[in-house]
Each structure stands twice: as C-alpha cells, then as structure tokens.
C-alpha cells in the first residue's frame, strides 16, 4: 500500500500533479493560440480582441502568482508542520522563472518587435519596465543555482544568494502596481499578500534573534560559573 | 404570399417597442402618460431606431473597419467595470430608453430635452473614424451620428460660453462599476468651443447602422476622433456651457498623465508608456505595432485649432 504521507507519495504523486497544474496557464495560452490561428476552435480558450495583451498579461500574472506561491512554502511548512512542502519549492520557483522569462521574451520579440532601440529606451525611461526588468535579472542567478550540486557547492552562500527572491518579489509587485491606469485593487491584493509573507519572515527573524541572544548569555554564564570566574548576574 | 423586406419590422425597432411598453408598465402608466402621449413616444422611438443615415465619404476613412464583435466586446467603460470585456458583460443593466439630457449653463435654450427632441432635427450620417485609445491600441469604427456643432448652434450658447462640458449618467443600479471609487463619478468631459464646432466632432447614436449598444455608450455619446478615446464620453445626460475650462475626470484622476486636450500625439509620451506606436485591434498584422499619426491622422483638418500652442505642455 502506498501511504500518502510518505516522501515517495509526495515525489511520485503530488509533485507530478503540481507540475501539471503549473503548466495549465501555458496550456491555456497554447489552446488560445491554436484557436486564434485557426488550427482548432476552442471558444473557451479565446484570447479575445487583443491577443498580444492577453498573452502578455497572462504570462506576467502567473509568473507573479507562482513567485508568491514559492514564498508561501516556508511559512506554510512551519505553521502547518508539513516539512515535505519543501520538496515543491524549487519546482514552483522555476515555474515562476519560466513564466516571467516568457513574459519578458514575449515583450521583447512581439510587443517591441525586437526593436532594441525602443526597448532600451523603455527600460531606462519607464519606471515600471525598469523595475520589472530588474526583478527578472535578480531571478536569473537563482534559477542558475537551483541544482542540488550548486546548493552543495555553495553551502551557506546559497541561502544568502537566494534571499534575492525577496527584492525580486517586491519589484515584481511594484511592476504590476505601476502599470495599471486607475484601478489599483488587483495589484493591491498582491502587495498585501507579499506584505504578509515578508512580515511573517521579519517577525520570525526577530524572535529567533532575540531567543539566540538569550541562549548565548545563558551559555556564557554557565561556562563562567564552571570556571569559577566572577560573573555579573544575568539580566532579568 | 410574399413579404417584401421593407414590410418586416427590423429587430431593433420591435425590441425597443417592447422595451418601451414594458418600461411604461413598470413605471406606472399614469406617470408616463402625464408627460406625452404614448403614441407620440412610440413614434419617436421608432424614428431613432430606424437609423436612416447617409454615408459621409468625405469624413470617413477607407481603412478596414473592425468587426462588430471587436468593437462591442473590447473597450473601456469603467462605469461597468475596468476590464476590457466588462462593458459587454455588465452593460445590460443600462436602460437607454426613455432618456433625457439636461442643457444648462451659458446658453439660451436651457432645459431638459427628451432624447427624441434632441435628435429630431438632425439628419444622421455614417462616419468611419479611427479611434486611438490612450493605452496605445486602436480601432476603426463606423459610427452613425450627427455633427455636435449643429446641436451646439441650436442651443444658442451666449458669448460667454467658451467650453462645453458633458456628463455621463450617474446611477449605481444601472452602472454597477460606479460602486467602486476607481474614478470620481460621474464621468465628466469637455471640449473648447472651437473643438466642439469642428465638423469632425460628432454625437453618435449608432454603430454599424444600428442603435448604439449599451456598452458603447448608448443612447448618446461623443466621438472626437483626433483625441484619445477617453475624451469621447458615453451615455451623456448633461450638456453645460461654461466660461471657464471644466475639470475633466481623467485629468482629475492623474493630472500628470492626462490633460484637458488629450490630442493624439506620438511626440508626447504618456509618462509611463510610449505613444509612438499603436496596436490595431483585429488587423492581420496584430502582432506588430503601427506608427501613430499626429491628431490620429486628422492633422489636415484640426491642426489649425492648436496653432501656436505648446502641445507638450497642453497635452
């Protein structure tokens, strides 16, 4: 009998399922493209009157959603006590990177029609493009060092490097927020989710730092007591 | 027995008759009859619905018009939601008949006009215009309407009238998008008097020869083809003549991004995106953008209105 709570079940059942789920937006876009090009008729997958905008927005929004989902893995793992959630984190992060890269490549090749001069002007002149592009640049080293080998070789440096995901997520939300015309409700939802995710980390960090200091003080006191040196009393 | 095509009541006509009669029943017949006889109103409704018009070739582009599906399924009308397909989905709650327009401010013929009275003297024409949205997409739309200037003249503005201001309906029941404070409702737009008198500026009541669908600004909307689309205010309930430049909705919402004039101009970028090129909706080359023309290609007709003005400052 296959027990659902084992590593094996996670690896061979839950993970492939999550993989397929992450592919759904891309599959939907492909179906929409087939519908548009006349290969097939799928009204449900229609890209509408402005297919370029639809594809561009869909890739971007799923990139941001998956990036935020990646950031929920650690909090959920600790709050629910499900250590196996960690097994999904790399896959979610790489899918986020996939959608965000496609979002950029689509902008480059289709929206800007590979017009490098216009593109560079856009990146320099338009703040929302500047921050979006920076977010993508920050994610590249994370994707490159996502292998087990890189993780082993880099040791503690790996974790430090991968903290770049925080500024990338902040810039990604800013990118969304800055390009809407008047209706900021939707980007605001993403900003709030990110604030909760980052706020939880800050809270945990400060609590740990506080606990760490207390433990260190206690250790020093015991050591000093053992060696018989005079010590100051512990602060209350 | 053969039925000639001319004997068949066109769909919009019988539909509007039914809606009109249902409307009377709903309102309470007494109240409706107190104003005008129902027979007269039915006749007026028919006058509008028939949409007899002449094609105006002089002021029409020969570019391929967008499909009715694109024009009615992809547009901005924030009163019904901020998504491009929201107007088509939600505009069913708008009741464009009966409709009236209040005329006030610096003019002689102030008052409340029924839509029928407002339209009666004007011959309708078809104008196929380019529409350029401030969001850098564009369409070609066959409007049916009449010159705004003809109505302005009829209302006899005084010598103090320098601007014409238009107001969209404000009604949370009919326009559910107004429940969220995305913009400062009701929607306001305005033109300088010489802009309003320009023969290209029209009031539209139809689209593709039929009565204007709700989502496109029924029953009466402005169309100013050399300005960004947001100037062409929809579902108008008030026309006011003023001496001072009126505050307009988008300019109030983001003064650094949207100005009073809002003339289509590839040389003046939106602070957040380029206005040099546009994506023509529904065209075969939809993957690439085409260059945007100054005044949306109507420079020969309207550039003189702005001679001597710094268009980068008066954007």
* Tens digits of residue pLDDT in A113-130: 777 777 788 788 888 999
3-state secondary structure B173-223: CCCHHHHCCCCCCCCEEEEEHHHHHCCCCEEEEEECCEECCHHHCCCCEEE
Lookup: tokens for B216: 């496109």
> Does B186 sit behind a cis peptide bond, omega within 30 degrees of 0 on the bond before it?
yes
pTM of the model: 0.82
Which pLDDT score is estimated for B257? 94
Lookup: tokens for B20: 């009109």
Contact in structure between B200 and B226 (CB atoms under 8 Å): yes
Contact in structure between B108 and B119 (CB atoms under 8 Å): no
Q: Report the alpha-carbon distance of residue B242 to residue B198 in Å, rounded.
A: 18
Least confident of A173-187, A219-233, B82-96, B281-295: A219-233
Q: How far is CA A73 from CA A63, A86, A88, A93, in A?
A: 16, 7, 8, 10
Q: Which residues in B lie closer than 8 A to residue A127 (C-beta atoms)?
A: 272
Per-domain boundaries in chain B: 51-306
**Domain B51-306, second-level architecture:** Alpha-Beta Complex (3.90)
Q: Report the alpha-carbon distance of residue A46 to residue A35 in Å, rounded.
A: 7
Which pLDDT score is estimated for B287? 78
Q: Quick check: A182 and B253 CB within 8 A?
A: yes
Q: How far is CA B207 from CA B129, B212, B234, B258, in A?
A: 11, 5, 13, 27
Q: Quick check: A182 and B274 CB within 8 A?
A: no
Q: What is the ipTM of this complex?
A: 0.79
Residue in chain A lying closest to B257 (CA): A181
Tell which residue, A24, A28, A43, has the closest CA to residue B73.
Answer: A43
Q: Quick check: A110 and B287 CB within 8 A?
A: yes
Tell which residue, A176, A158, A213, has the closest CA to residue A64.
Answer: A176
DSSP chain A: ---TTSHHHIIIIIHHHHHHHHHHHHHHHHHHHHHHHTSS--GGG---S-HHHHHHHHHHHHHHHHHHHHHHHHHHHHHHT-GGGHHHHHHHHHHHHHHHHHHHHHIIIIISTT-HHHHHHHHHH-HHHHHHHHHHHHHHHHHHT-SHHHHHHHTHHHHHHHTTHHHHHHHHHHHHHHH-SS--HHHHHHHHHHHHHHHHHHHHHHHHHHHHHHHHHHHHHHHHHHHT---PPPP-
What number is the average pLDDT over the span A184-194? 96
* Whether B193 contacts chain A with CB within 8 A: no
pLDDT reading at B103 higher than 80: yes
Contact in structure between B279 and A52 (CB atoms under 8 Å): yes
* Whether A41 contacts chain B with CB within 8 A: no
Q: Quick check: B254 and A127 CB within 8 A?
A: no
Q: What is the CA radius of gyration of chain B?
A: 20
The pLDDT tens digits of the residues spanning A62-89 come to 999 999 999 999 999 999 998 889 999 9
What number is the average pLDDT over the span B246-270? 96
Helix residue ranges per DSSP H, B82-137: 86-90, 115-119
What number is the average pLDDT over the span B265-290? 89
Which pLDDT score is estimated for B35? 44
Contact in structure between B240 and B193 (CB atoms under 8 Å): no
pLDDT reading at B41 higher than 70: no
Which pLDDT score is estimated for A218? 74
* Whether B256 contacts chain A with CB within 8 A: no
pLDDT reading at B36 higher than 70: no
> Does B219 sit behind a cis peptide bond, omega within 30 degrees of 0 on the bond before it?
yes
**pLDDT band at residue B25, thresholds of 50, 70 and 90?**
very low
* Whether A179 contacts chain B with CB within 8 A: yes
pLDDT reading at B269 higher than 60: yes
* Whether A113 contacts chain B with CB within 8 A: yes
Which pLDDT score is estimated for A60? 97
pLDDT reading at A1 higher than 50: no
Q: Torsion angle, CA of B220/B223/B227/B232, rounded to 10 degrees? A: 10
Lookup: tokens for B138: 């564009």
For residue A188, the number of C-alpha atoms closer than 13 Å in the C-beta half-sphere is 4
In this complex, which of A178, A182, A185 lies closest to B183 when CB atoms are compared?
A: A182
Q: Which residues in A lie closer than 8 A to residue B182 (C-beta atoms)?
A: 182-183, 185
**pLDDT band at residue B42, thresholds of 50, 70 and 90?**
very low
What number is the average pLDDT over the span B197-217? 97
Which pLDDT score is estimated for B1? 45
Q: Quick check: B272 and A178 CB within 8 A?
A: yes
Residues near A155 by beta carbon (within 8 Å), at least 6 away in sequence: none
> Does B98 sit behind a cis peptide bond, omega within 30 degrees of 0 on the bond before it?
yes
Q: How far A196 CA lies from chain B's nearest CA (Å)?
A: 25
């Amino acid at each position: 009998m296959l027990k659902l709570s084992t590593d094996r079940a996670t690896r061979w059942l839950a993970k492939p399922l999550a993989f397929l789920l992450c592919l759904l937006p891309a599959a939907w876009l492909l179906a929409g493209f087939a519908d548009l090009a006349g290969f097939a008729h799928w009204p449900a997958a229609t890209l509408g009157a402005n297919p370029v905008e639809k594809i561009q927005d869909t890739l971007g929004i799923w990139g941001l959603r998956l990036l935020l989902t990646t950031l929920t893995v650690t909090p959920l793992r600790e709050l629910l006590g499900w250590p196996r959630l960690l097994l999904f984190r790399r896959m979610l992060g790489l899918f986020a990177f996939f959608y965000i890269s496609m979002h950029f490549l689509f902008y480059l090749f289709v929206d800007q029609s590979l017009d490098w001069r216009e593109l560079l002007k856009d990146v320099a002149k338009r703040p929302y493009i500047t921050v979006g592009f920076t977010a993508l640049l920050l994610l590249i080293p994370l994707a490159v060092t996502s292998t087990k080998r890189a993780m082993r070789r880099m040791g503690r440096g790996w974790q430090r490097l991968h903290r770049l995901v925080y500024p990338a997520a902040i810039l990604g939300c800013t990118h969304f927020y800055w390009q809407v015309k008047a209706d900021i409700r939707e980007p605001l939802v993403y900003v709030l989710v990110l604030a909760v995710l980052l706020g939880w980390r800050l809270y945990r960090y400060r609590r740990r730092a506080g606990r760490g200091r207390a433990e260190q003080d206690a250790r020093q006191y015991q050591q000093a007591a053992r060696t018989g040196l005079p010590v100051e009393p512990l602060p209350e | 027995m053969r039925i000639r095509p001319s004997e068949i009541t066109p769909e919009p006509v019988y539909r509007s008759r039914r809606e009109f009669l249902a409307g009377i029943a709903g309102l309470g017949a007494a109240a409706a009859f107190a104003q005008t006889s129902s027979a007269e109103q039915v006749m007026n409704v028919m006058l509008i619905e028939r949409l007899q018009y002449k094609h105006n070739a002089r002021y029409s582009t020969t570019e391929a018009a967008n499909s009715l599906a694109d024009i009615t399924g992809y547009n901005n009308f924030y009163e019904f939601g901020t998504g491009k397909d929201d107007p088509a989905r939600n505009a069913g709650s708008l009741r464009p008949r009966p409709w009236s327009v209040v005329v006030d401010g610096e003019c002689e013929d102030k008052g409340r006009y029924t839509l029928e009275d407002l339209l009666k003297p004007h011959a309708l024409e078809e104008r196929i215009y380019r529409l350029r949205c401030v969001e850098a997409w564009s369409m070609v739309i066959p409007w049916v309407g009449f010159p705004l200037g003809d109505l302005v003249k009829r209302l006899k503005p005084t010598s103090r009238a320098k601007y014409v201001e238009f107001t969209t309906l404000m009604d949370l029941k009919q326009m559910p998008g107004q429940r969220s404070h995305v913009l400062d409702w009701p929607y306001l737009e305005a033109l300088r008097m010489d802009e309003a008198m320009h023969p290209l500026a029209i009031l539209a009541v139809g689209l593709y020869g039929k009565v204007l669908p709700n989502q496109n600004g029924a029953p009466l909307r402005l169309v100013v083809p050399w300005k960004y689309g947001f100037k062409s205010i929809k579902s108008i309930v008030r026309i006011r003549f003023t001496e001072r430049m009126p505050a307009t909705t988008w300019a109030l919402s983001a003064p650094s991004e949207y100005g009073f004039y809002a003339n289509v101009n590839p040389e003046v970028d939106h602070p957040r995106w380029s206005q040099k090129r546009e994506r023509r909706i529904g065209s075969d080359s939809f993957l690439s953008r085409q260059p945007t023309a100054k005044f949306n290609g109507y420079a020969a007709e309207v550039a003189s209105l702005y001679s001597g003005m710094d268009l980068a400052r008066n954007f």
